[in-house]
Amino acid sequence: NAGVTQTPKFRVLKTGQSMTLLCAQDMNHEYMYWYRQDPGMGLRLIHYSVGEGTTAKGEVPDGYNVSRLKKQNFLLGLESAAPSQTSVYFCASIGSSYNEQFFGPGTRLTVL
Amino acid sequence: AQSVTQLDSHVSVSEGTPVLLRCNYSSSYSPSLFWYVQHPNKGLQLLLKYTSAATLVKGINGFEAEFKKSETSFHLTKPSAHMSDAAEYFCVVRINAGGTSYGKLTFGQGTILTVHP
């Protein structure tokens, strides 16, 4: 039981490049989330999903897209990376009983 | 909409002295409240949670927090700080709005705790 895993752990991009961050969970959780963490701002919700095939916008969705084609995976895409997207990205999941939200280890992204 | 305010961005204590990290929240619905800790370059670890049971919640590593509805506060305390407590702490609220909140969390800005020898 690996919990929530994120791929990759680190990435450096140039402005305008694209990439996809992968989040996987093996707990059969319905809900999954993508957050970004910036100094002094806590974590802010980018997008979330309440089930396979569904996604919704969070607090800071601009510049990101997401997909949830399989229940266990939640992908975060940056189509044209900008320096403002330099951040640490955390994925999380929770079951429908709303018990503890489990977080992945994070992905540190730098956009030059 | 819900919000969380951590009243101190930095707190500095000496080892062996009490720790107090302050958190106020606002919510239109019954909230669940959490404290998470993040050590440098690490992920998030759940310290404790309040989910409408006992208002005094005990967590890991000797931390506890008290939910005070009248003051809309959820302050984190520890009687005696240890060097290993040095980290960033986040107060987090989750709104329980009949299932429509979908478990979304709102984070405070974080409090960096420094522990001096």
pLDDT tens for each residue of B67-117: 998 999 999 999 999 999 999 999 999 876 555 667 788 999 999 999 999
Tell whether B40 is within 8 A of chain A (Cβ): no
pLDDT at B39: 93
Q: Give the pairing type, strands A10-13 and A19-25.
A: unpaired
- Would you mind telling me the total number of residues written for chain A in this entry? 112
Q: Tell me which chain A residue has its CA closest to the CA of residue B33.
A: A100
Q: If chain A, 112 residues long, is cut into consecutive pieces of 10 residues, what is the mean pLDDT of each piece?
A: 91 97 94 94 93 93 96 96 97 81 94 96
Which among B102, B108, B110 has CB closest to A48? Answer: B102
| B2-23 tens-digit pLDDT | 789 999 999 999 999 999 999 9
Distance (Å, whole) CA B2 – CA A48:
17
Up-side HSE of residue A56: CA atoms within 13 Å toward CB? 13
pLDDT at B29: 77
With an 8 Å Cβ cutoff, the interface of chain A facing chain B consists of 31, 33, 35, 40-45, 48, 50, 56, 58, 90, 92, 94, 98, 100-101, 103-106
Each domain of chain B, given as residue ranges in start order, spans 2-116
Chain A hits for B111, Cβ within 8 Å: none
B30, pLDDT greater than 90: no
CATH architecture of B2-116: Sandwich (2.60)
More confident residue, B104 or B46: B46
pLDDT at B98: 55
Å between B106 CA and nearest CA of chain A: 7
Chain B hits for A40, Cβ within 8 Å: 9, 109-110
Per cent of chain B over pLDDT 90 is: 72
Tell whether B31 is within 8 A of chain A (Cβ): no
> Are A37 and A48 spatial neighbours (Cβ–Cβ below 8 Å)?
no
Distance (Å, whole) CA A74 – CA B101:
19
Q: Tell me which chain A residue has its CA closest to the CA of residue B105.
A: A45
- A vs B: CB pairs below 8 A: 48
